[in-house]
Amino acid sequence: MQRSIFKNTKQEPDAKNICILQHNVAIEHLDLMCNNIEAEGAELLAKSLRGNSTLRSLRMAGNKIASRGSMRFAAMLQVNSTLQALDVSDCDLDTQSLIGFTIALSTNKSIQAVDLSRPLLFSHQEEIMVHLARMLQVNQHLQELHLGQHGMTDSAVERLCEALRGNSVLRYLDLRCNRITRDGAKFLAEILRHNSTLEILDLSSNRIEDDGAGHLSKAIARHNRSLRALLHFTNVLTLTHKHPTPPQAVSSLLQSGRLLQEATDVSPYEVDGQRCLAEVFHGLRRHYYWTSNFDAHSDPVVNSALVLMGRDSMF
């Protein structure tokens, strides 16, 4: 196995040289995160991947390939049958390119993980959720889906949850940094009551509040046996004696062993008879930008997603 990493270079890597991938039989993982690759370079990469049969993961995060370049990658997914993980987060994807990816993923049988976080969306109609929901209803191979910073609201979560009712393969759902409130958390809690495959749920930096945290905690404690990691600290939680539900619920989950301390980002403590929650340095991808995932298992607490998924993930 061979890995190639070209991170954070000040100049654009020569995309024409990178495109030896079409005939390369050694490189399995290619990390081009945070370079200066734009649409033209993305087109060359996508073209070379059409004939590649060895590359398993490609990370393009932070390259401004925009709609033109991302549509080439979406078209490539309709032909390539070996790529298992693709990260196109923060690549200036627009609505058209996101729809293109959902169409490609509806028929692609090799992709197991995809990161579509932080697109440039200007519409408030959330039409992309319609296409994502349709894709999840038919895709029986995707295990890891990242939808951070999509501006997702409760109505979009409701549509997503309807699609997840018939999905039995998704293990990791990342909804961080959206606009999900307690109603969206209630929809997710209802899914957790019946879902037996979802293992990781990231709701950090949303607005689920005390009621939302309560719905999730009850579903995990009473009905769900598959979820292994839950992130929700950076939400609007009151965490006082007037609203004791989140601290008590989390404490109960930890004491019963239903959730492990290293599998969540909060730790309960008590002051003057009041239960509170403190944020702890636990996370699914804390070292995402500066620590290689080659050695993720040596520090599982801060890179727990890599360990919980039980495979060599680039996310």
**How would residue 221 be classed by pLDDT, with cut points 50, 70 and 90?**
confident
pLDDT tens digits along 272-295: 877 777 777 666 665 555 445 555
Angle, helices 209-222 vs 182-194, to 10°: value is 10
Of the pLDDT bands very low, low, confident and very high (cuts 50, 70, 90), residue 178 is very high
Domain ranges of the chain: 2-308
CA 193 to chain centre: 21
What is the token pair recorded at 192? Answer: 């957790």
| 227/171 Cα distance (integer angstroms) | 9
Residue 212 has pLDDT above 90, yes or no: no
278 has which bridge partners?
Answer: 267
Per-residue pLDDT tens digits for 95-131: 999 999 999 999 999 999 999 999 999 877 788 999 9
What pLDDT score does 244 carry?
46
> pLDDT tens-digit profile of 195-210?
989 998 999 889 988 7
Instruction: Please state which of the ranges 45-59, 122-136, 219-233 shows the lowest mean pLDDT.
Output: 219-233
For residues 216-224, give the mean pLDDT: 86
Share of residues in the chain with pLDDT > 90 (%) = 49
Name the token pair of 172: 């990791």
User: Residue 20 has what pLDDT?
Assistant: 63
Q: Is 239 a residue whose pLDDT tops 50?
A: no
Better-scored residue on pLDDT, 3 or 166: 166
Give the per-residue pLDDT at 311.
52
Contact 38, 64 (CB under 8 A): yes
Distances (CA, A) of 214 to 135, 282, 293: 30, 21, 33
Q: How far apart are CA 314 and CA 83, in angstroms?
A: 12
- Domain 2-308 falls in which CATH fold? 3.80.10
- At 149, the pLDDT band (50, 70, 90 cuts) reads very high
CA 38 to chain centre: 23
| pTM, entire model | 0.83
- pLDDT classification of 312: cutoffs 50, 70, 90: very low
Average pLDDT, the chain: 82
Q: Where would I find the beta strands (DSSP E) of 95-231?
A: 113-115, 144-146, 172-174, 200-202, 229-231
pLDDT tens column, 11-40:
555 555 666 666 777 889 999 999 999 999
